[in-house]
Structure 1
Amino acid sequence: MWKFCSARLICSADLDSATKHENIESELCVTLRQARLDLSYHNCTAVPKNLPANTQYLDLSHSDISRLKSNDVAGIPNLCHLNLSYHKIQHISPTVFTNNRIIKVLIISYNFLMTIPDFHLPQYRVLDISGNLYSSYRLGNSFRNLTSLNFLLLGTPFVDVTEVEDFASLRNIPLKHLIFSESPKLQRFKPGSLAEIKDLQEVTLTMSFCHKLIKFLPQYCSISSDPFEGFKETQFLSKLAFVNIVYNEDTPDGSFLLPHTVKLRSLIFNGIMHYQYSYPKININVAWLSQMTYLKFSGTGMNIPPCKLILAIPPLMTLDLSDNLLNDEGFRWPGCSYTKAFPVLRQLSLSRNRFVNLSFISPYLSFNSIQLGKECYWPSHLVELSLSNNDLGNCVFGYLSPHFRQINLSKTGITAVTQKAITSFPNLTHLFLSSNSIQSLPADLQVISMLVLYVDQNAITSISQGLILGLPRLHSLMAGNNPFSCSCNSYWFVTALNILLLPDWPMDYICAAPPSFTGMLGVWISVKQRSCMGNKRLHDASFHYHAFVSYSQHDSNWVESHLVPSLEIFGLSLCIHDRDFVPGLWIVDNIINCVENSYKTLFVLSQNFVQSEWFSYELFFAQRRAISTQENSLVFFLLELIPANSLPQKFLKLKTLLREQTYLEWPED
């Protein structure tokens, strides 16, 4: 008997296993841009020598390496993420990663490994050895050392059954996700083969159903037996998902014969289509679903909801019928009775259907053609609502329930938000008002429960400090891409507001007014305010640096080998961002501090420099400082000839400066 209590089985067609842990990889190995090295598709036959020692992320995929030798990556001890997929690797030295004590993500998928290698370092979190040529899933004893392993991806075209002892070495490992990718022959898990993985939460099995070929080569894509036959008695399952499957014809028992289990809590059918343009037939005993709380039928083309099934699941808390062909008439179908339905439902998603009447069927109606008219009646236990992408207008707040805690009204044509409208929802925690035409937010808003507020992509020119004070529990404010007026009245926003509240800060905050600052980062407010506090600062200050050197990273070799030594040998103190930026500070703050603490700002101009994303900001801050102090503190050094017509349009001021000021040139010889 399989003794699982919380495993999840996903049976999907053409589901890319790499996407299952892509976000996890990013979170585990957050690296600096200069510590990331992409050498994929470089036709490497061996791991390149003399790689930068500070490399944290290395992608060597899609080349011709056949062996990993003991010292191949010893010179990059800070390596956290290594991708060696799509090579011809047949052998891996047991000591190859001995010097890589912090590596967390290792991908060796789609190689020629005949056996599953031994891995001895305990810090691995994601290990992908799918798409290889081993003939057994038996994991060696070295896997007992992988005490941090969360994601394990396996897969081979030569194994059709998992044996009882295959995963015994994972008995005390906190593995939560086991993914079988590229395993076309895998048909059966012997009872007990996964039972020892005590923390397992999710099992993903990728199956190919030839849905790309079925239209042209149906004779090669027929399945004579139920591919899920091996799961009929899997009583451990609590979550089951069928994703992106196209059926040619049904078996005698229907398209799906679900497991005999009374523990199933979540059931998903997403993107299930039938080649014969009929609905897939699901053979299910509703008695097995007595504990189900989550049910999703999405992307199936249905126009009548599965009423009998819904009514038979009293504990259902989430019902997702999105991305179908449902309309008001389908819900009025005589076979459906909703007098006893949804007694504890909290989330109902009907997005991307064809509903029109909000008063008849209310919640989660994104991407429909909703009209407001009759009064709406909402059950008190329904607490989340999404009406996004419908043309509703300002009056929509009058049709909503005071019991709602999460409301999504993005792209609904709202132009004004009042204090009265928002405070009619005393338990509101999440409010999404993105992509409307809202011009202002009430300064006297008082919502103690509010945690998340999205007002990005509107017509808001300023946000008052009173608004934030009225939301004491707020931990996420998305307000970027608004036409902000960058005056001193908004100074509090960049000085008093905790920028950790702003997930889109700083790049989405630009000035729309006054005209002279249009398009610049809102942080110019800090510069303006500092200049207002004293134009004589330059004359009275003692500088930390003689010059701040602004240059492109692509020109760093010339700066470090020629410019810096030639100036510092005369006793000049230079501020170089690679060396002198303070770790932990926001980049723009580092730029401002270096500009203001330097007597001059020296710009090393090149084609690379004028294309860099930070050049415009460094030039702007330095120019503002020069204007406010009435001192000529800008020095231009042309590393190479830059034709005037090659400068981007936004650098018209630079063209003027180069015409009016004397500058230095580095001769071609």
Structure 2
Amino acid sequence: MTKTNSLAFYCIIVLGLTLTKIQLSDESELIIKRPNANLSRVPKDLPLQTTTLDLSQNNISELRTSDILSLSKLRALIMSYNRLRYLNISVFKFNTELEYLDLSHNELRVISCHPTANLKHLDLSFNAFDALPICKEFGNLSQLQFLGLSGSQVQNSRVQLIGHLNISKVLLVLGDAYGEKEDPKCLQHISTETLHIVFPSKREFRFLLDMSVSTTISLELSNIKCVLEERDCAYFLRALLKLRKNRKLSHLILNNVETVWNSFINILQWVWHSPAKYVSISNVRLQGQLASSRFTYSDTSLKALSIRQVVADVFSFPQRYIYSIFSNMNIQNLTVSGTHMVHMLCPSQVSPFLYLDFTDNLLTDMVFKDCRNLTGLKSLSLQKNQLKNLGNVILMSAEMTSLQKLDISRNSLRYSDGGNPCSWTQSLLVLNLSSNMLTGSVFGCLPPKVRVLDLHNNRILSIPKDVTHLQALQELNVASNSLTDLPGCGAFSSLSVLAIDHNSVSHPSEDFFQSCRNIRSLTAGNNPFRCTCELREFAKSIGQASREVVEGWPDAYKCDYPESTKGTPLQDFHMSPLSCDTILLTVTIGATMLLLAATGAFLCLYFDVPWYVRMLCQWTRTRHRARNIPLEELQRNLQFHAFVSYSGHDSAWVKNELLPNLEKDDIRVCLHERNFVPGKSIVENIIHSIEKSYKSIFVLSPHFIQSEWCHYELYFAHHNLFHEGSDNLILVLLEPIPQYSIPTNYHKLKNLMAQRTYLEWPTEKNKRGLFWANLRASINVKLVNLAEATSYTQQ
């Protein structure tokens, strides 16, 4: 057999190898895999500690001792699908730990043997051997569990060399030339529980091989072809008849069967009377017409029959005969899938069927309509058919009084109550309705005792409030729908497993975990979560649940909105309680406003703000009255050189020192006791005097800071400084004033003393001349620009 063998063969072999368990020693493993690397020889750079080496699907044509000499720890070597033509098993003489050797699918014709006692798995199948490559040294492989062989000649003498070995599984691939020198009883010497025979794929089945190996429990036959003439299948049927001698035979598998309809029915009839209990027929191609004949159901050991992937070239004959054969089978388990079957008849009498699987056919709503003879049926699969109306399926199930499991997924089912009674069978426990066209209305009619319900991949937008109360429901799968919220457990009090991933759940109910206290498995990832306040409690609850409860946490749970949090895992999403609690936020804002108001009131009192407000009002009223004075009066020139502000306690110094030294130089000085206009308010007199004076002199002393009127005068003079933009303030420090003694409402005085230069009254007489000179200079600096002062008429 060459590399051109079909991929189906390879899949069969891979499956067989998967089922064969090879126990390697429990040391640390170093696995090197280099398949499809276009290698022409074994690489030289392999680590010395390599335990498993996979060089499959390359172009290696030769294997030498030097290639693997250094790999003393090698326990598994896979070189399938290469170009090896010759093998001397002595190349492995230094690999004493080798247990697994796969050389299948090469071009081997000859091998030279060498003692190898440790092999547990040896596969030489799908090669080009003429005779079975069995050496006498194979008889020493006492640990062998799997043996794969291929050859066109199966000789008694060779098979006897391994007859004493108890091999778990033997794979025998027959070459195209097999049968020319056939020895029908050559396999009788093999002792194995599982035997798989692959017949030649390019020829008709015309040989009579005795496959009734006395120790075989499971027999698998591949490549059964008899289509040229109907009598060609007589060879195969006679070969099957010999299997009746093996009473241990329990499992029979037929793969890649190509025959005519009548021969196929004959094969089924033989199966019925064989010792096999479990029969599987797959990848069948049928031709020709079908002649009706009686099918005998009596005297059978069969418990389960599986027929998968059937292609028929002709369907012009009445198909009712085929359906009646299947429907009246007196076995417990029947599987007919991938056959394009369009209908199935109801059994003519009460059926022993416990399990029926009609997956991947063309069955319609008419299947088992009004069928009352399936009362013992426990499991029914109608997956991937042409069912349209769920109401018809409900009526069908009502007659199946023992049905516990129903799979009607991957159809085109819709549901509309339309006044039809919700008459599900009371026994139904597991219901699969996935991959249909169902909406939320289906929750109005569900089996009352169902425990497992699968509704994933439908068109469900929401679970209605009037949902059928399913007190026994334990598992619910509503993934891949369009649900916007997690369903509570009000109607599903026993729910323990919920899958709702891949929906449109954006802000799950925060009380979900309180409603569903029995949940032990929740799959809710891959939803567009809105990471806002509404999600805060749910994220907290789901984060506190153990990873055994929340499936896919945390990788599948991420924020989708707002944009700033998109992609953020829910476990990293946090919002403060203040921003999410409206009442707490209102109380906090209110308390903050009250605190700010209290602080503002305290600061106003502390800095005497009310006083400044009153002064500002007085100034505003004075300025407002000034606007009513005629224009020619507003344009009048200044009347005084200086306005003097002082405390009454310092009046002696003003009258005895200040006035004489200034007025002798014709400097006109404004004093409140002689120049204020009677009838006007004090504030108006202060403002007018400051405005009519070129400078304002403030005589500073501890008495000054105790005078409220001095404070007014300083305030308005300072205000006029910024209003007029002139430098009209002169500070005369008569006595030292400590900073701490200045009241808080005199902060302007503090600023002026810190920022402006002031004249200090010297106690030494010899320094006073300079003091008066500086003061007169400050007043007379712009006298050249002053006009003659008009007389100040007392009002």
TM-score, length-normalised on structure 2? 0.50
In structure 1, the gaps of 5 or more residues are 1-11, 211-217, 533-669
Distance 1:79 1:485 in 2: 55
Given the alignment, which residue of 485, 491, 495 partners 1:440? 485
Given the alignment, which residue of 363, 372, 376 partners 2:416? 372
Matches within 5 A, 1:227-626: 229=237, 230-232=239-241, 234=244, 235-250=274-289, 262-278=300-316, 289-290=329-330, 292-308=331-347, 311=348, 314-329=351-366, 331-332=368-369, 338-356=371-389, 357-362=392-397, 363-366=406-409, 367-373=411-417, 374-417=420-463, 421=467, 424-426=470-472, 428-442=473-487, 444=489, 453-461=498-506, 467=513, 470=516, 474=520, 477-485=522-530, 489=537, 490=539, 493=542, 496-499=545-548, 502=551, 508-519=556-567, 522=569, 525=571
SS of match in other structure, 1:361: helix
SS of match in other structure, 1:192: coil
Q: Per-residue displacement from partner, 1:481-537 (whole Å, max 9, x unpaired)?
A: 2224567652554564225873x56654443245334235x3x725x67999xxxxx
Distance 1:205 1:505 in 2: 47
Q: Per-residue displacement from partner, 1:152-178 (whole Å, max 9, x unpaired)?
A: 65423255689667486655xxx6x65
Matched, 1:93 2:89: yes
Aligned residue type for 1:156: L
Alpha-carbon shift at residue 28 of structure 1 (Å): 9.6
Superposition CA RMSD, Å:
5.1
Matched, 1:84 2:75: no
Q: Per-residue displacement from partner, 1:73-104 (whole Å, max 9, x unpaired)?
A: 55384766835234325315257397585966
Native 8 Å contact 1:249 1:276 kept in 2: yes
Q: Per-residue displacement from partner, 1:161-210 (whole Å, max 9, x unpaired)?
A: 89667486655xxx6x65444643776552531x324xx4x543322659
Distance 2:282 2:470 in 1: 40
Native 8 Å contact 1:168 1:196 kept in 2: no
Alpha-carbon shift at residue 424 of structure 1 (Å): 0.7
Alpha-carbon shift at residue 436 of structure 1 (Å): 0.8
C-alpha spacing 1:169/1:207, structure 2 compared with 1 (3 Å): closer
Matched, 1:51 2:51: no
Distance 2:284 2:349 in 1: 26
Question: What's the counterpart of residue 657 of structure 2?
Answer: none
Larger CA deviation: 356-365 vs 447-456: 447-456
Q: Per-residue displacement from partner, 1:600-643 (whole Å, max 9, x unpaired)?
A: xxxxxxxxxxxxxxxxxxxxxxxxxxxxxxxxxxxxxxxxxxxx
Question: What's the counterpart of residue 156 of structure 1?
Answer: 174
Native 8 Å contact 1:14 1:208 kept in 2: no
Given the alignment, which residue of 207, 214, 227 partners 2:223? 207
Native 8 Å contact 1:265 1:294 kept in 2: yes
Aligned residue type for 1:192: S
Alpha-carbon shift at residue 295 of structure 1 (Å): 0.9
SS of match in other structure, 2:485: coil
C-alpha spacing 1:432/1:137, structure 2 compared with 1 (3 Å): farther
Native 8 Å contact 1:441 1:467 kept in 2: no
Question: What's the counterpart of residue 141 of structure 1?
Answer: 139
Distance 1:289 1:431 in 2: 35
Distance 1:270 1:60 in 2: 34
Distance 2:324 2:366 in 1: 26
Alpha-carbon shift at residue 243 of structure 1 (Å): 1.9
Q: Per-residue displacement from partner, 1:220-269 (whole Å, max 9, x unpaired)?
A: x9984257513356523122222222222257688x99999612111122
Equivalent pairs: percent with the same residue? 21
SS of match in other structure, 1:347: strand
Native 8 Å contact 2:297 2:329 kept in 1: no
Aligned residue type for 2:378: L
Larger CA deviation: 156-165 vs 372-381: 156-165
Native 8 Å contact 2:60 2:82 kept in 1: no
SS of match in other structure, 2:233: coil
C-alpha spacing 1:312/1:238, structure 2 compared with 1 (3 Å): farther
Largest Rg, 1 or 2:
2
Question: What's the counterpart of residue 109 of structure 1?
Answer: 104
Distance 1:89 1:190 in 2: 31
Given the alignment, which residue of 211, 221, 225 partners 2:233? 225
Aligned residue type for 1:63: N
Alpha-carbon shift at residue 422 of structure 1 (Å): 8.1
Native 8 Å contact 2:443 2:463 kept in 1: no
Matched, 1:196 2:212: no
Distance 2:515 2:119 in 1: 47
C-alpha spacing 1:26/1:150, structure 2 compared with 1 (3 Å): closer
C-alpha spacing 1:381/1:69, structure 2 compared with 1 (3 Å): farther
Aligned residue type for 2:376: P
Aligned residue type for 1:130: S
Question: What's the counterpart of residue 670 of structure 2?
Answer: none
Distance 1:469 1:103 in 2: 57
Native 8 Å contact 1:358 1:370 kept in 2: no
Distance 2:381 2:446 in 1: 15
Alpha-carbon shift at residue 402 of structure 1 (Å): 2.5
Distance 1:484 1:92 in 2: 65
Q: Per-residue displacement from partner, 1:326-374 (whole Å, max 9, x unpaired)?
A: 2234545xxxx61222423323425322442343335533312333322
Distance 2:40 2:312 in 1: 46
Point out which structure has higher relative CO (alpha carbons under 8 A, 6+ apart): 1
Aligned residue type for 1:482: N
Native 8 Å contact 1:317 1:344 kept in 2: yes
Aligned residue type for 2:84: K
Alpha-carbon shift at residue 406 of structure 1 (Å): 3.0
C-alpha spacing 1:439/1:103, structure 2 compared with 1 (3 Å): farther
C-alpha spacing 1:499/1:190, structure 2 compared with 1 (3 Å): same
Aligned residue type for 2:300: V
